[in-house]
Amino acid sequence: MIRVTRSAVIDAPIGRVWEVLRDFNSHSAWHPAVGESNIERNEPADQVGCVRNFFLKDGNHIREQLLALSDRDHVSTYCILDATLPMKNYVATVQLKRVTDGDRTFWHWQSTFDVPKGREKEFSDLVGNGVYEGGFAGLRSFLRKPGARAAPSGATIQAQAVVATAFGGPEVLRYQAVQSASPGPGEVRLRQTAIGVNYIDVYVRKGLYRMIEPPAAIGMEAAGVVMDVGDGVGHLLPGDRVAYACPPPGAYATVRTMSADQLVVLPEHVDDETAAAVMLKGMTAEYLLHRTYRVRPGQAVLVHAAAGGVGLFLCQWAKALGAKVIGTVSSEDKARLARANGCEFPIVTRDYRFAREVKNLTNGRGADVIYDGLGREAAAENLEALAVTGHWACYGQASGPQDALPDLGAKSGTLSRPVLFHYTAQRPMLEEIARNTFEALRNGTLRVDIRHRFPLAAAAEAHRELEARRTTGSVILLP
Amino acid sequence: MIKVYSSSVIEAPADAVWAQVRDFNGLPKWTPFVAESRIEGNLPADKVGCVRNFRLKDGGVIREQLLTLSDYDYECSYSILESPMGVENYVATLKLTPVTDGNRTFAEWWAEFDCAPEKERELAQGIGQGVFQAAFDSLKGLLRK
């Protein structure tokens, strides 16, 4: 068994070197010894198991299979399947590490293999010097080539994003190529792995919340892996799994460069899809139940859209806090789902009539707290359903904005208009809310049920489903 | 849990760098911020489990315990037992890897720890730049001579 190890320092940030090396078919562009190369069966070049079929410029023919690829550890492992060279059991690993001193990259390339007796030195030189050292030199000159890629300091990556081309219906959303700049001070660049769809995305798309000027990408929530980190970012490293729920919009993208302030590192027990489903909606449930109003055991809690994304989390968590959970839903199916998630008394209504039922369920008292994402249409019914000295948290406006202040004096009621992003604006509070949300996932208080997964390119379809009230629970997009 | 990671390239072979840094009692010899150091209980400085007790030039006293020492992997890890820094569960690792291209050394130093949220940024900066990178810079100067 021969072991060959070579290593080098490349004068470019790790994100830029990895961007090239993670592409299993890129070697024909940068390796001086490699001629024509194809990935068999048209598979993506980052699909584990794919096979590259290539010729060396000396005429040899090799097929190699990708065995492992990690964007977290910057590792690629592959083996030779067939070769016109007498090498057996060849397995090689490329690993990159960040040189923080100067923002460069350490590249470690190692393999083990067998060759016919007596030819060990010949092949260890061929692999070590010809392939690995030749590769170091080839990549260095490839990265310096003007035009082929941007300069090391400003490596811009081609990405895909869903852009609102104007304010309007789902049809204004277009899946298109965008540039993802290398991160500036205080920023990181993420390769996004799962993206959350929220009702706020609809408001942004319609222009009801003026948070973008079209054309611009929308979306507030995603999970991903840190590719590279700008100056002055202390809490994140390339390879960290992270998630966020924050403005500005722009989450509907394969790669995103953004401020590092609002990113939290994911614990191992929270996978990327769960994170994309829970960051905005789960953290919303956390602050609504503990901060906007502190729910106590035995209180009557009214949750509107109880089978929706936030609604299910509110039901689960309020139930765990010992509350009597009443909900409104638009169908029997949704009532069953809400019930299975802690909503003891789901009320089926499609015309926002529920006050009488709420009063019946509370001996005429009404709800101690109302979690209302409905807005205008239900205002009068909500006031009627509210208990004396009760609290009405109006955190959304699916049926349109609420204009006039309701007559709270009739109940000594209080009204709030809470927004997640105000609660999470300061990092200590963000971390506390995220920590409590992750803990609620770990101990089973929150259960994520992702029933709707769409490709990122089909974001418009996801919006249509959401607006037609055909979705329940969480909706995510997969890049 | 905070993670801090610093890495650098030292223009000397890994054996030479390792000879300088493997002495767990040797901080005063190669870092710019340690005034004096001793190993508690008169133990050898390469006995895993030994505790170094050292005084910083600014006066603070730190006690650290050797958790790993590998002459094979050029790796050393240790935990903080006592310090004025306000950190808990602090474990750090210093690792060298040869760079065959140029016969140099890739040096990595990372730490994980807990601390009060309002101190995170300051500590991450202080440890990553003030300690690890400063020690790398000092090492580069020593080994160039």
| Domain at A78, CATH number | 3.30.530.20
Task: Please state, in angstroms and rounded to a whole number, the distance separating the CA atoms of residues A14 and B65.
Answer: 33
A401 versus B132: the higher-pLDDT residue is: B132
Which among A65-69, A324-328, A401-405 has the top mean pLDDT? Answer: A324-328
pLDDT at residue B121 tops 60: yes
Share of chain A above pLDDT 90, in %: 73
- Nearest residue of chain B to residue A435 (CA atoms): B1
CATH number of the domain where residue B77 is located: 3.30.530.20
pLDDT at residue A295 tops 80: yes
Dihedral (CA of A353, A359, A361, A362) sign: positive
Where in the sequence is the domain holding B23, given as residue range(s)? 2-144
| A407, A274: one domain | no
| A95, A229: one domain | no
Task: Please state, in angstroms and rounded to a whole number, the distance separating the CA atoms of residues B89 and B79.
Answer: 7
Q: How confident is the model at residue A350 (pLDDT cuts 50, 70, 90)?
A: confident
| A14, A120: one domain | yes
Task: Please state, in angstroms and rounded to a whole number, the distance separating the CA atoms of residues A15 and A228.
Answer: 5
Task: Please state, in angstroms and rounded to a whole number, the distance separating the CA atoms of residues B95 and A129.
Answer: 26
Domain boundary residue among A391, A417, A443? A417
pLDDT at residue A149 tops 70: no
Task: Please state, in angstroms and rounded to a whole number, the distance separating the CA atoms of residues A471 and A458.
Answer: 15
Does some domain include residue A151?
no
CB contacts, 8 Å: A426 with chain B: none
**Average of pLDDT values for A362-376?**
91
Nearest-neighbour CA in chain A from B7: distance (Å): 5
- Nearest residue of chain A to residue B119 (CA atoms): A428
| A140, A185: one domain | no
Tell me the residues of A at the B interface, defined by beta carbons under 8 Å apart. 5-9, 97-102, 104, 106, 108, 133, 136, 234-235, 237, 240, 427-428, 431
Q: Are strands B51-56 and A474-478 parallel, antiparallel or unpaired?
A: unpaired
CATH number of the domain where residue A190 is located: 3.90.180.10
Task: Please state, in angstroms and rounded to a whole number, the distance separating the CA atoms of residues B83 and A145.
Answer: 50
Q: Angle of helix A272-287 relative to helix A309-320, nearest 10 degrees?
A: 60
CB A224 within 8 A of CB A272: yes
Task: Please state, in angstroms and rounded to a whole number, the distance separating the CA atoms of residues A415 and A413.
Answer: 7
| A184, A262: one domain | yes
| A253, A231: one domain | yes
Nearest-neighbour CA in chain B from A6: distance (Å): 6
| A15, A130: one domain | yes
CB A303 within 8 A of CB A325: yes
Of A136, A234, A431, the CB nearest to B124: A234
Is residue B93 less than 8 Å (CB to CB) from chain A?
no
The pLDDT of residue A101 is: 87
Provide φ and ψ at A104, rounded to 5°. Answer: -115, -175
CB contact under 8 A, B136 and A101: yes
Task: Please state, in angstroms and rounded to a whole number, the distance separating the CA atoms of residues B37 and B40.
Answer: 10
Overall number of domains in chain A: 3
- Element of type H or E holding A54: strand A51-56
The pLDDT of residue A399 is: 59
Of B8, B98, B121, the CB nearest to A99: B8
CB contact under 8 A, A7 and B120: no
| A196, A132: one domain | no
The pLDDT of residue B107 is: 97
| A215, A252: one domain | yes
Q: What are the pLDDT digits (tens) for A152-198? A: 335 787 889 999 999 999 999 999 989 888 898 889 999 999 999 99
The pLDDT of residue A238 is: 74
Does some domain include residue A445?
no
| A137, A168: one domain | no
Does some domain include residue A432?
no
pLDDT at residue A227 tops 70: yes
Overall number of domains in chain B: 1
| A251, A364: one domain | no
Contacts 24+ apart (CB under 8 A), A32-41: A32/A57, A32/A134, A32/A137, A32/A138, A33/A57, A33/A58, A33/A130, A33/A131, A33/A134, A33/A135, A33/A138
Where in the sequence is the domain holding A351, given as residue range(s)? 297-417
Q: What are the pLDDT digits (tens) for A426-448? A: 988 999 999 999 999 999 999 99
CATH number of the domain where residue A317 is located: 3.40.50.720
Does some domain include residue A358?
yes
